[in-house]
Amino acid sequence: MALIDLANPTRFLALTARALPWLGAATAIAFAIGLYLVWAVAPDDYQQGATVKIMFIHVPNAWLAMGVWSVMSIASIGTLVWRHPLADVAAKSAAPLGAAFTFLALLTGSLWGRPMWGTYWVWDARLTSVLVLFLMYLGVIALWRTVDDPARAGRAAAILTLVGAINLPIIKFSVDWWNTLHQPASVLRVGGPAIHPSILTPLLIMAFAFGLLSVTLHLAAMRNEILRRRVRAMWLMQAHAAQGA
């Protein structure tokens, strides 16, 4: 099967029906391994103590917050350039997931910040730009709900998504461009990770588990959206038939 064949909604549904059980199982196994390493193997940090355990959920969610918007941006290009309905479906289905991951990144960061920084929140560049990302997710979701026609909503949401993508490098480099209470990058940085392997390994496995969760939920949500559009098309056909009778 060629990759382009997957862009056919019917073939996409058949593929997801086969893939989702395996992806779900792989996600559960990855979380089991990750949580075992976090709670039974990884040592406490020499400065932060056990509070470092919050990092194992904060960092993957922060990465996904940006990763999901990147996926939505690529899908938006598909919507605007090729007008492919599956691109719309991909972008729309990803938005609630991205909002949830961003919410978790903000909340766990806040719960980590209170004992480490002495405050739940500070208006520094990193925290504020991630809050803006969260608000943009809510804006895109609201836009999808406001416009009834999926094709029109898709184009408007695609433009908003691509404009919002400007925020991604701002989030990434905010800790380098401005003085922030938030620490600079310690994993994805020039010169390699600054974290000891005993903590880095569980972190990467938890990131992998959250990544798998994101892919699994995204495919499942895309499947739901395709079905929703079929229901809508059938309702419209029924309404036209009733008018013609």
Partner 1 sequence: MDLGPHGAFIVAAYATAAFVVLGLIAWVLADHVAQRRLLADLEARGVTRRSKSEAA
Number of other residues whose CB lies within 10 A of the CB of residue 178: 14
Number of other residues whose CB lies within 10 A of the CB of residue 20: 15
Q: Please tell me what DSSP assigns to residue 43.
A: P
Side chain identity at residue 72, one-letter code = M
Q: Are 20 and 220 in contact (CB under 8 A)?
A: yes
Size, binding site for partner 1 by CB under 8 A: 36
* Stretch in the footprint of partner 1 (CB under 8 A) among 151-159, 173-181, 183-191, 235-243: 235-243
Among positions 11, 83, 114, 189, the unique one binding partner 1 when judged by CB under 8 A: 114
CB of 122 to partner 1, least distance (A): 16
Smaller CB distance to partner 1: residue 6 or 107? 107
Alpha-helix runs per DSSP H in the chain:
9-36, 55-77, 85-117, 125-146, 150-164, 167-177, 197-244
CA 127 to chain centre: 17
CB of 92 to partner 1, least distance (A): 12
- Structure tokens given for 198: 């005993």
Which helix (H) or strand (E) segment holds residue 112: the answer is: helix 85-117
**Interface residues for partner 1 in 47-66 (CB under 8 A)?**
49-51, 53-54, 57-58, 61
Smaller CB distance to partner 1: residue 92 or 165? 92
- The residues of the shown chain that bind partner 1, judged by CB under 8 A, are 39, 44, 49-51, 53-54, 57-58, 61, 96-97, 100, 103-104, 107-108, 111-112, 114-115, 213, 217, 220-221, 223-224, 227-228, 230-231, 233-235, 237-238
